[in-house]
Amino acid sequence: MQPLERVKVLDFSTLLPGPMCTLLLADAGADVIKIERASGDDMRDYEPKVGPDSVNFCLLNRGKKSIVADLKDPVIRKKIESLIAEADVIVEQFRPGVMDRLGLGYEAANAINPRIIYCSITGFGQYGPYAQVAAHDMNYQARTGMIGLGGDKSGAPFVPPVLTADLAAGAYPAVMNILLGLRSRDQNGTGCHLDVSMSDNLFPLMYWGLGAGWAAGQWPRAGDELVTGGSPRYQIYQTADDKYLAAAPLEDKFWNNFLSILGLSELEHLDNPALVKASVAKTIAQHPAAYWLEKFDGKDTCVTEVIGLEQAVSDPHFNARGVFKRGLIAASGQRMPALPTPISAVFLSENPDNTSPKLGAHTQEVLK
């Protein structure tokens, strides 16, 4: 039996944070009912597509049921209220107040089912000056100072390649708090309203910068800190064949090994980061990546080649661990690897439903 077997989740969310959250719940055994408008989740229309739906939608919504419901229709809303009465969890990510106006906010849901765990995922939380501001992942990273940590010493930032707010600060904290809500309900018999603010949850990811600022007044400068490009011990170096090595020999034992292999042991105690960085860069630039990878192999130096995603998914290590062994069947019938999730293998079903649902495929079944 999976940990969340017999837990029913009503998913009113679209796009990324909520669907990723409910994907993780589904992987742990929850029965997830995705409630969509007639045109479907916006993610269905993204490119590239696998049949009628985008591959993004298929990856994020496998193993769920899809129903079409006009939440403004009083008759349909009554049926949704019947589902709420028997549900355990609601996940929604509208702007604050939208679900209230639909008559499906926390107070209304709690009146129907006092045991409901009601999770609201938003960019800036349920209250505060920015609560109604339209924004996306990059905006949250910009507002919280995360983008400002990166870039070069001139302070010029770059577009972040990972949707950190949606995932690490939205979907994952939502799952964590839903599980805590279910555990709390086991103890006291009542549900709760979870206010998951993606911008709030970005700050713990920058703990080191906050600590330096609060304790010593040393607020991080772009491209100039230990893990943002200021140190030769945590740096990207270009090789002679225009490839790149990610070098992270932070601890002395790794750093000494690193310098020894480069033939630069005299730099071991030199307190001039810019000079050391330039010397290391000049040395690494004299040979191709394969040369250095052979030199560093097995030597405990924390050096890795920078590769592309296509090469990464074929890496023998991840294949040996079966990271991509689970399959996904799109609504069109096409098969591909399923998106791996951080749910431990001991909690996964041996025979999962890994099919992504057609729009409204379960409407009759669920609302009958």
- Which positions are annotated as active-site residues? 136, 166
| DSSP bridge pairs for 35 | 67
User: 189: which 2 tokens?
Assistant: 């018999």
CA–CA separation, 368 and 364 (whole Å): 5
CA–CA separation, 84 and 112 (whole Å): 7
Residues in the chain: 368
Pairing of strands 327-329, 89-92: unpaired
User: 141: which 2 tokens?
Assistant: 């990273």
Q: How many CB atoms lie within 10 A of CB 86?
A: 10
Q: How many CA atoms lie within 13 A of 271 on its CB side?
A: 0
Please enumerate in sequence order all residues whose Cβ is within 8 A of that of 264, keeping only pairs 6 or more positions apart, or say none: 279, 280, 283
Going 127 to 129 to 132 to 137, the CA torsion angle's sign is negative
